[in-house]
Amino acid sequence: MFADVIVDIQHEKLDKIFQYRIPEELESRLQPGMEVVVPFGKGNRQIKGYVTGFSEKCEYDLSKVKSILSISEKGMEIETRLIALAAWMKEHYGGTMIQSLKTVLPIRQKENAKVKKHLRLLLSEKEGEEKLAFYRKKNQKARARLLEALLADRLLDYELVTGKLNITLPVIRALEDQGVLKLESEQIYRNPVQQGTQQERTITFTSEQEQVIRGFREDYLAGKRKTYLIHGVTGSGKTEVYMEMIHTVVEHGRQAIVLIPEIALTYQTVMRFYRKFGDRVSIMNSRLSAGERYDQMMRAKRGEIDVMIGPRSALFTPFPNLGLVVIDEEHEPTYKSEQIPRYHARETAIQRAKEEDASVVLGSATPSMESMYRARKGEYVLYEMRHRSRMQQMAKVYTVDMREELKNGNHTILSGKLQSLMEERLERGEQIILFLNRRGYSGFVSCRECGHVIQCPHCNVSLSVHKGGKMVCHYCGYEQPKIRVCPECGSGFIGEFKAGTQQIEEMVRRRFPQAKVLRMDMDTTKKKDAHTKILSAFANEEADVLVGTQMIVKGHDFPNVTLVGVLAADMSLYTDDYRSGERTFQLLTQAAGRAGRGMREGEVVIQTYSPEHYAIKAAAAQDYKAFYEQEIRYRELLGYPPAEELMAVLAAGEDERLLETGCKYLKEYVLRIKGKAPLEVIGPASPGVDKIKDIYRRVIYIKAPEYRTLIRVKDLMEQYIEINSGFAKLRIQFDFNPMNL
């Protein structure tokens, strides 16, 4: 056996694992994650390393492999625990150890923390005044100006002095030499949370909130660490509950991580945490630079903060004494990584909590099928919060059958019901959200005569028409001018098919010329901060109507919105994904949750071509239980997660023939394993998009009742792929319980 070791992670680029021999006396004690001392380089310099795992064969020239010198007894540093977590992730999600380590460990970036410099006045006021008079007498203007500023404010920013005051460094040095001031510098770790007023308001918890808070506290004090699922309607006060739970662990000297989908990580949310925990809170988001992110990680490690809020990657915050991980909106697909290792933040959080004796809280108005299934089996503690915290009613929902609208001669995308409710709102000065699960000006271009759809030549997806008239591929960015004649049959009846957000915006402007309309989708939020600007403009009631894609229905609190229109509920329903019913139910419920957050009652109009579909019916009735019961029966019947476990084997390659042969062999290999294990093999099939940037893709699905069976199959397949050179030109990846295929 050989030990795999990474060395000195704080300083070296994390790009290689080294192998070392294990001395006999250490053999029984050595564990992954342990800190060891190893000889390194030509001079056999003794350096620190971490054991990441063990291998049976050695990748290097055996005569050159050195031995581990000793185990460092300090042991359980945070790195150690994160390395153990990385090893677990590699095991559970595939990929290499390096890929897992890079996901989990904070890696120092080239960009260093900013050095902040300032000038400090060393003289007393009286001495200063005398000196100032002296400079004035000598007509030393710059010196006088600087001293005057320092007398007004004894500590000045270096940038301010050299910028606004226009003082040069020699002048500063001269005053320093005369003992007037001191030039100080400090390494500051940037804190991205702007200082705000810290005023905590007191609320009286509802009995539902009280029950969860007390339950958690009792468990916590009794040393019981569990996973809790809070199923609470939007506005039931889940966030207040999380903050109270965090308070409990922080009180006991431990830290908390709060995961929030990036899109819902609003200023409002951050400020609520900031008000409660002051500058012991930090946030992580994609707008921070790599250096800033590293700084935040280091602040966490040094114990300068207690609470880290951020998207998926914040899960790996190196807190020395983690007490709690909260995952808000736990059903969100963004908690699953689309890069190797394709980990799910929920499962990984539960694993980290297990290693570090911490608790996990999952919260959602529409829990994922996985979490509810586990809660019902007793693996998680389930709490239900059925009522809104501030006496508001749940919104009233209408379902409109769009086929009937068509029959009645309404060919527009706004049903009669929606139009009349909009009119009412505009008269009363209340706000409206129109929601469409699609981006861009419009959908695909098709021929009404022969049905031909214009597709990207590099990806098998349809091109979308943008307002300028160009046709664009959303996968690879390919563009071409708009087509006027069908390339298949020559017909002139070719055009855009479905409505997009831009088209709805225009339609609303035409129908309600008096209304002010804002639009929020991928196209209007490309610029930095555009997202926040649109939302705050709408929150400040600078517009009557907000039209947008799913990014508008998450997490925001607009008290004056009393009407939400879902324009085409079916858009997320008919995709070739077994989760489409669940996705649709979640989106519709979230959209409904946007209406009536203030004092007035909200109304929701769901427009659909399939009003009889159970996901739409349950969403309209705001009945999670009805949805769950129906959906779980279907998953059990068809053997989909969470009833069974599913692994996708993704194969990709430039040569389609080679890819197909490779897939055939892979499938045959899995069928041979199947003789010994209860497996079901489906495919190879073309995934939704079967060619991206001229690379062909195929997928094989493998189902099994147990997750560990799939891990075993993955391990065997990895070995098989490695020893057969036929796979060299193919790229094969594994995806457990995939989200987007």
**Annotated binding-site residue numbers for Zn(2+):** 447, 450, 456, 459, 473, 476, 486, 489
Over the window 274 to 313, marking each residue x when it contacts ligand ADP by CB under 6 A and - when it does not, the resulting string is: ----------------------------------------
Distance of alpha carbon 649 from the chain centroid:
24
Q: How far is the CB of 571 from ligand ADP (least distance, A)?
A: 25
Residue 91 in the binding site for Zn ion (CB under 5 A): no
Residue 454 in the binding site for Zn ion (CB under 5 A): no
383 within 8 A of 215, measured Cβ to Cβ = yes
Task: Tell me how far apart the alpha carbons of residues 555 and 262 are, in angstroms, rounded to a whole number.
Answer: 11
574 within 8 A of 580, measured Cβ to Cβ = yes
Residue 572 in the binding site for ligand ADP (CB under 6 A): no
187 within 8 A of 299, measured Cβ to Cβ = no
Torsion of CA 206, 209, 212, 216, to 10 degrees: -110
Q: How far is the CB of 571 from Zn ion (least distance, A)?
A: 21
Over the window 344 to 383, marking each residue x when it contacts ligand ADP by CB under 6 A and - when it does not, the resulting string is: ----------------------------------------
324 within 8 A of 226, measured Cβ to Cβ = no
Residue 240 in the binding site for ligand ADP (CB under 6 A): yes
Residue 389 in the binding site for ligand ADP (CB under 6 A): yes
Beta-bridge partner residues of 22: none
Residue closer to ligand ADP by CB (options 292, 329) is 329
Residue 471 in the binding site for Zn ion (CB under 5 A): no
Longest Cα separation, the chain: 99
Which one among 189, 398, 478, 609 touches Zn ion, defined by CB under 5 A? 478
Task: Tell me how far apart the alpha carbons of residues 380 and 370 are, in angstroms, rounded to a whole number.
Answer: 11
Which one among 81, 143, 238, 352 touches ligand ADP, defined by CB under 6 A? 238
- Interacting stretch for ligand ADP, rule CB under 6 A, among 3-11, 105-113, 199-207, 338-346? 199-207
Known binding-site positions: 447, 450, 456, 459, 473, 476, 486, 489
- Interacting stretch for ligand ADP, rule CB under 6 A, among 205-213, 415-423, 483-491, 602-610? 205-213
- Interacting stretch for Zn ion, rule CB under 5 A, among 181-189, 490-498, 585-593, 663-671? 490-498
Q: How far is the CB of 541 from ligand ADP (least distance, A)?
A: 17
Residue 236 in the binding site for ligand ADP (CB under 6 A): yes
Task: Tell me how far apart the alpha carbons of residues 139 and 337 are, in angstroms, rounded to a whole number.
Answer: 65
Which one among 74, 120, 390, 708 touches ligand ADP, defined by CB under 6 A? 390
Q: How far is the CB of 466 from Zn ion (least distance, A)?
A: 14
- Interacting stretch for Zn ion, rule CB under 5 A, among 173-181, 432-440, 459-467, 670-678? 459-467
CA distances from 179 to 25, 43, 172, 192 (A): 62, 48, 11, 35
575 within 8 A of 687, measured Cβ to Cβ = no
Residue 684 in the binding site for ligand ADP (CB under 6 A): no
From 417, 412, 414, 416, select the one nearest 397 (Cα to Cα). Answer: 417
- Following DSSP, what letter does each residue of 712-737 receive, concatenated? HHHHHHHHHHHH-GGGTTSEEEEEES
C-alpha Rg value of the chain to the nearest Å: 30
Among Zn ion, ligand ADP, none, the one that 237 touches (CB under a kind-dependent 5 to 8 A) is ligand ADP
Residue 209 in the binding site for ligand ADP (CB under 6 A): yes
Q: How far is the CB of 475 from Zn ion (least distance, A)?
A: 5
Among ligand ADP, Zn ion, none, the one that 121 touches (CB under a kind-dependent 5 to 8 A) is none
Among Zn ion, ligand ADP, none, the one that 464 touches (CB under a kind-dependent 5 to 8 A) is none
Task: Tell me how far apart the alpha carbons of residues 342 and 336 are, in angstroms, rounded to a whole number.
Answer: 7
182: left (phi over 0), alpha (psi -120 to 50) or beta: beta
Return all residues near 400 (Cβ < 8 A) that are at least 6 apart.
415, 417, 418, 605, 606, 607, 608, 611
Report CA torsion sign: 343, 344, 347, 353: positive
3-state secondary structure labels for all residues of 234-274: CCCCHHHHHHHHHHHHHHCCCEEEEECCHHHCCHHHHHHHH
Task: Tell me how far apart the alpha carbons of residues 519 and 504 are, in angstroms, rounded to a whole number.
Answer: 9
Among ligand ADP, Zn ion, none, the one that 395 touches (CB under a kind-dependent 5 to 8 A) is none
Judged by CB under 6 A, the number of residues near ligand ADP is 15
Q: How far is the CB of 292 from ligand ADP (least distance, A)?
A: 27
Q: How far is the CB of 393 from ligand ADP (least distance, A)?
A: 14
Among Zn ion, ligand ADP, none, the one that 731 touches (CB under a kind-dependent 5 to 8 A) is none
Token representation of residue 228: 């809790």
Residue 599 in the binding site for ligand ADP (CB under 6 A): no
Residue 738 in the binding site for ligand ADP (CB under 6 A): no
Among Zn ion, ligand ADP, none, the one that 227 touches (CB under a kind-dependent 5 to 8 A) is none
Q: How far is the CB of 478 from Zn ion (least distance, A)?
A: 4
Residue 473 in the binding site for Zn ion (CB under 5 A): yes
Residue the block writes with tokens 């060393």: 122
Residue closer to ligand ADP by CB (options 19, 266) is 266
Token representation of residue 283: 């946030």
- Interacting stretch for ligand ADP, rule CB under 6 A, among 40-48, 227-235, 525-533, 535-543? 227-235
Residue closer to Zn ion by CB (options 346, 438) is 438
Token representation of residue 643: 């009833």
Q: How far is the CB of 268 from ligand ADP (least distance, A)?
A: 9
Q: How far is the CB of 685 from Zn ion (least distance, A)?
A: 20
How many CB atoms neighbour CB 170 within 10 A?
9
Which one among 491, 532, 719, 724 touches Zn ion, defined by CB under 5 A? 491
Which one among 19, 80, 103, 239 touches ligand ADP, defined by CB under 6 A? 239
> Residues 51-61, buried b or exposed e (16+ Cβ, 10 A)?
bbbeeeeeeee
Task: Tell me how far apart the alpha carbons of residues 54 and 59 are, in angstroms, rounded to a whole number.
Answer: 12
DSSP state for residue 26 in the 8-state scheme:
G
Residue 237 in the binding site for ligand ADP (CB under 6 A): yes
Return all residues near 159 (Cβ < 8 A) that are at least 6 apart.
117
Which one among 49, 95, 128, 235 touches ligand ADP, defined by CB under 6 A? 235
* Sites of contact with Zn ion (CB under 5 A): 447, 449-450, 452, 456, 458-459, 473, 475-476, 478, 486, 488-489, 491
* Sites of contact with ligand ADP (CB under 6 A): 203-206, 209, 232, 234-240, 389-390
